Amino acid sequence: MIPISVNSIPLIDLVMADGHLLFNLVVFNEFNTPFLHIKNNQLFYSTSPWDIQLVGKKLTIHEAHIKILM
């Protein structure tokens, strides 16, 4: 199931495989470059943002010292 897509690119995608629900997500920056990707419940991210912090369930991505990208 693809609940959200833009220009035929699925941004959010849900897949049922072997009885498990798998989540897929692609997040783009202002230049249309993907910087965060969740594929089958696995987190992948670009090293181009200034700082990435994952604490518990909270993911914070900084573009600059105080500027939060996501």
Report pTM: 0.70
The predicted structure's pLDDT at residue 16: 95
Segment 38-49, tens digit of pLDDT: 899 998 877 666
Domain annotation covers residue 69: no
CB atoms within 10 A of CB 36: 19
Within a domain: residue 67? Answer: no
Q: How many domains does the chain have?
A: 1
13 touches 4 (CB < 8 A): no
Domain encompassing residue 30: 4-62
Q: Decide which of 68 and 4 is more confident.
A: 4
* pLDDT (average), residues 47-65: 76
Residue 29 lies in a domain: yes
Q: Is residue 12 part of a domain?
A: yes
Note the pLDDT tens digit of each residue in 10-39: 999 999 999 999 999 988 878 888 878 889
CA distance to 9, 18, 19, 31, 65, per residue, from 26 (Å): 9, 23, 23, 14, 24
> Is residue 45 in a domain?
yes
